[in-house]
Every structure is written in C-alpha cells, then in structure tokens.
Amino acid sequence: MNNARMWLVVNPTVGIPVFLGAVAVGSFSVHVGIVTNTTWVEDFLSGREMGSTAALSVPSETAVASVDGAKIVFDEGEAGDRAVVILDDGRTAQVVFDEPDEVKTASLSGALD
C-alpha cells in the first residue's frame, strides 16, 4: 500500500466511509446529469424503441427531397440552414449547417523548386 501512512493521520473508521460516500455522491451526480440532459433515457426506461420520442421537431417545409425512400426536409433558420432526415422506419435525424469557413492553403509550387 503506497499510502499506508495516511491511516496514521485519518482513522480508517472515518476515512473509508468518507471515501465511499464521495464515490456514491459522484456516481449519483453523473447519473442525474445523464437522465436530465439526454432524450433517449425516457425511451430506454419505458421499453420503447430508441428514438420513438418526438425529440426532433420537423421544421416548416420550405424544401423537401426524397432519396431512396428517405424524406429530407430543408428549412432556413436564423442559426443557419438545417434539415431533418426522416427514414422509412420513422427514425429522424437533425442536421444543422454552419456558415462555411474559408480555409487558406499554402502553395507547394515554391517548395518543389
């Protein structure tokens, strides 16, 4: 044990319960964070198929495309363009397109001479 001298300062009857309590509080806070910040936990706990909750809202249809049976609904929002993909089996995915960034590239013509 590398930290055996710690028990000369902290009594094991106090240190071990404090350590286990800290582990329990940390674990509880992580689980609360997962339950409150995700949308799939409700489906999982109720036994429904994943993604069956209508967590993604379909935007007002400004342009619709169909690719291999999947429906793609485009909408130009304030935060950039976005689209919702609706698959044949009802699953949905939301895509947000940011403004394009210009990437500057170096020329290799000078390096090859």
* Tens-digit pLDDT profile for residues 21-47: 999 999 999 999 988 888 788 777 777
In the prediction, which pLDDT does 44 show? 79
In the prediction, which pLDDT does 62 show? 56
What residues are paired with 64 via a beta bridge? 73
With a threshold of 0.75, does the pTM exceed it?
no
In whole angstroms, what is the distance from residue 108 CA to residue 33 CA? 49
In the prediction, which pLDDT does 88 show? 77
Return the H-helix or E-strand segment holding 88: none
In whole angstroms, what is the distance from residue 29 CA to residue 31 CA? 5
Residues of the chain with pLDDT under 50: 53-56, 58-59, 61, 113
In the prediction, which pLDDT does 82 show? 77
